[in-house]
């Protein structure tokens, strides 16, 4: 039987949409470029990436965006013969303020050239667009409240200041009064509104409890789109907050879809925790699951399996093709779709394809928020291996290139080819192990002979080990075991300030500013059963 999550590895905040027998899920990408990931399926089990629609500066420029800002919670819909994408570009995370700008882009085909965005508002985040049966369109978002305690509509969390609604027109923009339609429940942190209509009712789904282990999908309904809305009899449609033994945790933030065959489904965000040195952590970030739901006689939606916890198994007959080993050779004209980079809409400044390799032009440090030569793919299992081949001849110790396990500027481990004044060309591990002061940990350098270098990273839950070889010889361990649990939402500042996921990829920097380059002819990734690192002491 197929199992959740259906989208493994960092794929949070799933907006769910159906057009005929075609199903689409759009997920958040935060500071990773291009913006928004859209997947397609016809069996609800196997999903294929078909679009990253925000690909040019007029649509999205995140240079300077802090970690875990950028694209939050897109909403994908289809009406009037075209797809509609609503998204937020968040410019600030910490502190009382959120500078969150909301836009709408459209396209007639899911994989076409999406329009330049239309600006809507900046009153909060997690926007969505509801197309009513009479042709009117309604814009919803959480309103953010930066003021002092006690000033909000929900005392459970003042800054999440209710779901607001306003009519919107493609030609004239927002129109008419702004109405706060739902303050949320006592769980608080009410966000991610999605509206749909059925049987004379407007149904509202929201996420509550924050995106950590108290996360939940909450439902409400009203006869009038502007409210008042009554909350679901059991408050939540789904949550795992009362089920610590469930393999799926952090359940919340999803959207309802009626299937083409009359069955009913709801997407949800989830995590698969594993044990680490400081407790549970989700090595693969926030992922996307699906649950079958049903309408009952009281006119409310419930999990078809009963209870509040979505099942691990999916009641579908399709054979699930799980992610497997893959090798990338970079011998084509385009970067493989699995890879992304950080923030910039000007990728030719940081990488190019030579016909035989991916060439990275060293730019700023791994702590930069502006221009990093870092090209990486998601880690989609807690036990995996990544390899790359590096052709690099650094001119000085300010230049380096190699393999990186990356979450953000203060959570990464990298094995880098660099230059040591005494040893010459060498290998060195550079880590920032979750310390918000960005304190670096540098391993002793290991001398390297001339020529290509193969680097590998093996991750077995909370343990990461680097390896290296030259000339096709045997793999040698590089440095000691590292704490992989910091490369997670729970590491560093924790789950309520870290919203992306673990990436494995290739990195280069040139701190002289001269754009020194390194070539990567190959990169490989595979899930693991028995990592080599388990047999190495220390």
In the chain the domains, ranked by start, together with CATH numbers, are: 15-244 (2.115.10.20), 326-535 (2.60.120.200)
Strand partners, 141: 164
Structure tokens at 286: 């926030």
How far, in Å, CA of 73 to CA of 191, rounded?
10
Residue from 292, 287, 324, 321 nearest 306 by CA: 292
What was the pLDDT predicted at 535?
42
**Residue 503 corresponds to which tokens in the numbers above?**
């990436």
Which tokens go with 227?
């409210």
What DSSP designation does 261 have?
Answer: T
Q: Are 4 and 268 in contact (CB under 8 A)?
A: no
SS3 484: helix
Enter the pTM of the model.
Answer: 0.96
User: Which residue in 528, 508, 529 sits closest to 517, CA to CA?
Assistant: 508
pLDDT at 530: 63
Can you give the C-alpha Rg of the chain in angstroms?
Answer: 23
Residue 363 DSSP class:
B
User: What is the residue-level pLDDT of the chain in tens, covering all 538 positions?
Assistant: 899 999 999 999 999 999 999 999 999 999 999 999 999 999 999 999 999 999 999 999 999 999 999 999 999 999 999 999 999 999 999 889 999 999 999 999 999 999 999 999 999 999 999 999 999 999 999 999 999 877 888 887 789 999 999 999 999 999 999 999 999 999 999 999 999 999 999 999 999 999 999 999 999 999 999 999 999 999 999 999 999 999 999 999 999 999 999 999 999 999 999 999 989 999 999 999 999 999 999 999 999 999 999 999 999 999 999 888 999 999 999 999 999 999 999 999 999 999 999 999 999 999 999 999 999 999 999 999 999 999 999 999 999 999 999 999 999 999 999 999 999 999 999 999 887 766 788 899 999 999 999 999 999 999 999 999 999 899 999 999 999 999 999 998 888 889 999 999 999 999 999 999 999 999 999 998 765 554 443 3
For residues 499, 504, 505 and 507, what is the CA-based torsion angle, rounded to 10 degrees? Answer: 70
Give 280-296 as a DSSP string: EE-TT-SEEEEEEEEE-
Q: Which residues are catalytic?
A: 371
Q: Are 54 and 71 in contact (CB under 8 A)?
A: yes
Which of 72, 83, 76 is closest to 17 using CA atoms?
76
Give the three-class secondary structure for 348: helix
| Distance set, CA 533 to CA 348, 457, 476, 478 (Å) | 36, 9, 11, 11
- Give Cα separations from 305 to 89, 291, 293, 313 (angstroms): 37, 9, 8, 10
Question: Which positions ≥6 away from 59 have C-beta within 8 Å?
Answer: 35, 53, 105, 114, 116, 117, 345
Alpha-carbon gap, residue 233 to 185, rounded angstroms? 12
Distance, in Å, from the CA atom of 20 to the CA atom of 42, rounded to the nearest integer, reads 10
* Cα–chain center distance at 299: 34
Contact 168, 120 (CB under 8 A): yes
Distance between CA atoms of residues 168 and 128, nearest Å: 11
Tokens encoding 250? 């952090």
Element housing 524 (H / E): strand 517-527
Nearest to 28 by CA among 93, 105, 112, 90: 90
Nearest to 382 by CA among 284, 466, 484, 463: 284
What is the rounded end-to-end Cα distance, in angstroms, of the chain? 39
Pick from 328, 317, 126, 100: which is nearest to 208 by CA? Answer: 126
pLDDT of 156: 76
**Residue 78 DSSP label:** E
Q: Is 321 exposed, middle or buried (0-12, 13-18, 19+ CB in 10 A)?
A: exposed
């Amino acid at each position: 039987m197929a199992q959740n999550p259906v989208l493994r590895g960092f794929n949070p905040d799933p907006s769910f949409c159906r057009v005929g027998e075609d199903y689409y899920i759009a997920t958040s990408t935060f500071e990773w470029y291009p913006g928004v990931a859209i997947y397609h399926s016809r069996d609800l089990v196997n999903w294929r990436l078909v679009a990253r629609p925000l690909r040019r500066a007029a649509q999205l420029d995140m240079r300077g965006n802090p970690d875990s800002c950028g694209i939050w919670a897109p909403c994908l819909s289809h009406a009037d013969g075209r797809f509609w994408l609503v998204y937020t570009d968040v410019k600030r995370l910490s502190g009382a303020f959120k500078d969150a700008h909301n836009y709408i882009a459209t396209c007639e085909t899911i994989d076409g050239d999406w329009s330049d965005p239309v600006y809507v508002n900046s009153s909060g985040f997690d926007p969505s667009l509801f197309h009513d049966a009479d042709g009117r369109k309604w814009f919803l978002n959480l309103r953010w409240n930066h003021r002092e305690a006690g000033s909000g509509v929900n005392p459970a969390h003042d800054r999440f200041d209710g779901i607001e609604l306003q009519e919107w027109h493609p030609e004239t923009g927002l129109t008419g009064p702004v109405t706060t339609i739902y303050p949320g429940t006592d769980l608080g942190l009410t966000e991610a509104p999605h509206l749909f209509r059925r049987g004379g009712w407007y149904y509202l789904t929201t996420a509550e409890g924050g995106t950590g282990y108290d996360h939940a999908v909450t439902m409400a309904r009203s006869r009038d789109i502007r409210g008042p809305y009554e909350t679901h009899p059991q408050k939540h449609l789904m949550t795992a907050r009362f089920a610590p033994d469930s393999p799926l945790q952090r359940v919340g933030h999803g959207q309802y879809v009626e299937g083409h065959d009359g069955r009913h489904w709801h997407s949800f965000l989830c995590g698969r925790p594993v044990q680490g040195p400081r407790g549970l952590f989700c090595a693969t970030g926030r992922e996307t699951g699906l649950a079958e739901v049903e309408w009952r006689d009281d006119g409310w939606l419930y999990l078809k399996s009963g209870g509040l916890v979505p099942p691990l198994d999916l009641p579908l007959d399709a054979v699930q093709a799980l992610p497997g080993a893959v090798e990338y050779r970079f011998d084509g004209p385009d970067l493989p779709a699995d890879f992304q980079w950080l923030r910039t809409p000007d990728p030719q400044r940081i990488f190019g394809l030579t016909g035989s390799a991916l060439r990275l032009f060293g730019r700023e440090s791994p702590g930069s928020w502006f221009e990093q030569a870092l090209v990486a793919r998601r880690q989609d299992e807690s036990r995996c291996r990544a390899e790359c081949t590096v052709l690099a001849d650094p001119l000085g110790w300010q230049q380096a290139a190699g393999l990186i396990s990356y979450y953000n500027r203060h959570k990464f481990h990298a094995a880098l080819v660099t230059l040591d004044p005494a040893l010459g060309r060498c290998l060195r591990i550079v880590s920032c192990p979750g310390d918000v002061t960005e304190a670096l940990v540098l391993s002793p350098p290991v001398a390297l002979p001339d020529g290509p270098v193969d680097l590998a990273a093996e991750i077995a839950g909370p343990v990461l080990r680097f390896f290296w070889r030259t000339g096709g010889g045997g793999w040698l361990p590089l440095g000691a075991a590292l704490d992989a649990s910091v490369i997670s939402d729970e590491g560093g500042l924790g789950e309520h300030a870290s919203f992306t996921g673990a990436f494995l990829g290739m990195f280069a920097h040139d701190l002289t500013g001269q754009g020194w380059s390194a070539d990567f002819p190959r990169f490989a990734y595979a899930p693991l059963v028995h990592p080599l690192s388990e047999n190495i002491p220390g």
